[in-house]
Amino acid sequence: MEENITINPDNSTDGGEIQISLRDVYFEYESTDESPPKEVLHGISIDIKKGEFVALLGHNGSGKSTIAKHMNAILLPSGGKVFVAGMDTCDENLLTAIRRTVGMVFQNPDNQLVATIVEEDVAFGPENLGVPSEEIRKTVDEALKAVGMYEYRRHAPHKLSGGQKQRVAIAGIIAMRPKCIVFDEPTAMLDPRGRQEVMSAIDSLVRKLGITVVLITHYMDEAAKADRVIIINDGKLLMEGKPNEVFSHIDLLREHHLDVPQATELAQYLRSLGYDIPDDILTPEECAAAIMRAKK
Amino acid sequence: MISDITIGQFMPGSSFIHKLDPRMKIILMTAIIVFIFVVKNLLSLGLMSGFVVLSMLISRIPLRMYFKGLRAIWFLVFFTATLNMLYIKGEHAVFQYRSVTIYEEALWQSGFIAIRLVMIVITSSMLTYTTSPTDLTAAIERLLAPLKLFRVPVHELAMMMTIALRFIPTLLEETEKIMNAQKARGADMESGGIVKRAKALIPILIPLFISSFRRAFELATAMDCRCYTGGKGRTRLNVLRYRFRDFFAFLLMGGLCAGIIYLNTLAPALVR
């Protein structure tokens, strides 16, 4: 399975610098006494460009979290190569450099906060990198302001709501000034309000700070906000494209037990009844506008 | 109910004691505890208790907080004082009933023990009430730094302490959740003898352990992602720095210690 691809991905771009590049990645969990080795990824190739907002979708067990963990060398591919800003993730000497470039936010906010005070936690990353104290202070304040948690800097994390904790976790990653942040189902454990808070924080990362974002989710509404949607099924790439292109394939998605955003579903249904509604509807607002137009 | 536990509770404030460097606070507290045992007669005891009461007032922590801290050890104080009273032999009997004789020396001894215990608890709660857990662990890390020469993993110990402090409330919350879940399934935790109650804890402890391991694993991955590679080359957001007030407090403490030693020589010792 080993295909020796040694091209430096930075030189092989076609429009836009490539930040993360998975080249024909295979991955299997090591065998234990009870179970044989289980192959989770079967030859996945993905390129993520600088400043892009990519959503990775797939049902449970499709391998999407495994892909995420390849993006900052938490897992190393069993076959194929992963490059982060041109650095091979298999090279142990580059580990810190890679993790500085690609930060990661996980599902459970409780299990990623280290310190007993919000600002101390945000400072954890820069402290590890050996940034001088005065600079840490500045970075921490900026990071907390970027997620709207500056007023809570002296609070204890366990007294915050889920959405607030998750925003602190995001600030902790921003403080390391990464070029890219991978979110592994960041809203799965939050209530609707927390989801909203976290999604708007992610949105401002992409739009204001120009950070590349890879969002792994199973909420279609969240994926609809991305520039590009990648659908993973059984460790393989199923579909890839702009959200409206991808979600217009309702039947194919259904076949693989995936939903489409509710607005898209409604628009599609109305179309099938013969109404004049475009097939690339994503948000409730677009849908409402299209229905108004169709009525006239 | 579980969250009533207040060990190491920090009460933010801006008193002189709050503002002292946490390292200095640890040093001073240790000195006070040592000198509580140097105290031998009423004069030096008076000076020491005066000092402790004064610091309690300066700390501007509500006095009831100190009494709350003492509640847990009343029994211990009472128990040791009584034992001392009954078992220490002396020359002047003050009270006799059948085979029980209480001597004057024993009364002094048990009184001193009780006051010493109370003062120790008050000083150590003062430390935790006026110092944030992060400051405390940072101070411990710095004070123990010389032990690194003997290959004691000082940074790792401090990190473990920080994480433990961080997860105490999280795990307490989780314990309550599991308890409620088990109660909802008909578990009975409030009745029966000690053995039955201990057995009822098993269905709470097992899920708690499993989830703690899962948490630990996830936390380790998250720490890896944030480039944690141990204490080497780490910097800190808040750097500890001794200020004028720390030297002032240190001198004051020196004066107190000298005063106690001097007063000890003025009057005969009441305790051994």
Model confidence over A254-280: pLDDT tens digits? 787 777 778 888 888 888 888 888 877
Distance CA B116, CA B59 (A): 20
Distance CA A97, CA B165 (A): 30
Please report the beta strands in chain A, taking only residues with DSSP state E, as ranges in sequence order.
18-29, 38-49, 53-57, 79-84, 87-88, 102-105, 180-184, 212-217, 228-233, 236-241
**A124 close contact with B: CB closer than 8 A:** yes
- Collect all residues of chain A within an 8 Å Cβ-Cβ radius of residue B238: 120, 133
Token duo for residue A226: 């991305």
Instruction: Give, in order, the Cα–Cα distances in Å from A106 to each of A116, A150, B71, B162, B228.
Output: 19, 21, 42, 21, 16
A119 to chain B: nearest residue by CA? B237
**A182 close contact with B: CB closer than 8 A:** no
Contact, A171 vs A186, CB < 8 A?
Answer: no
Confidence band for B3, pLDDT divided at 50, 70 and 90: very low
pLDDT higher than 90, residue A106: yes
Contact, A111 vs B215, CB < 8 A?
Answer: yes
Average pLDDT estimate for A104-129: 92
Confidence band for A155, pLDDT divided at 50, 70 and 90: confident
Which residue shows structure tokens 């470039």?
A101
Residues whose CB is less than 8 angstroms from the CB of residue B32 and which lie 6 or more positions away in sequence, other chains included: B48, B51, B52, B119, B123, B253
B229 to chain A: nearest residue by CA? A128
Stretch among A146-155, B78-87, B151-160, B230-239 having the lowest mean pLDDT: B230-239
Task: Give the strand pairing for A102-105 and A79-84.
Answer: unpaired
Tell the burial category of B182 from Cβ atoms under 10 Å away from its Cβ (0-12, 13-18, 19+). middle
Distance CA A283, CA A264 (A): 7
Task: Report CA dihedral (B201, B205, B207, B213) to the nearest 10 degrees.
Answer: 180
Distance CA B89, CA B151 (A): 47
Distance CA A64, CA A83 (A): 18
Structure confidence by residue, pLDDT tens digits, A49-100: 998 999 998 888 888 889 999 998 999 999 899 999 989 999 888 998 999 9
Distance CA B116, CA B122 (A): 10
**Which of helix, strand or coil describes residue A117?**
coil
Q: How many CB atoms lie within 10 A of CB B248?
A: 12
| A-B C-beta contacts closer than 8 Å | 98
B166 to chain A: nearest residue by CA? A116
Token duo for residue B145: 């730094």
Distance CA B229, CA B15 (A): 37
**B240 close contact with A: CB closer than 8 A:** no
Q: Where are the domains of chain B?
A: 2-266
In this complex, do A132 and B235 lie within 8 Å of one another by their Cβ atoms? yes
Token duo for residue B138: 């940072």
**B7 close contact with A: CB closer than 8 A:** no
pTM for this entry? 0.79
Structure confidence by residue, pLDDT tens digits, A226-256: 999 999 888 888 889 988 888 888 778 878 7
ipTM of model:
0.82
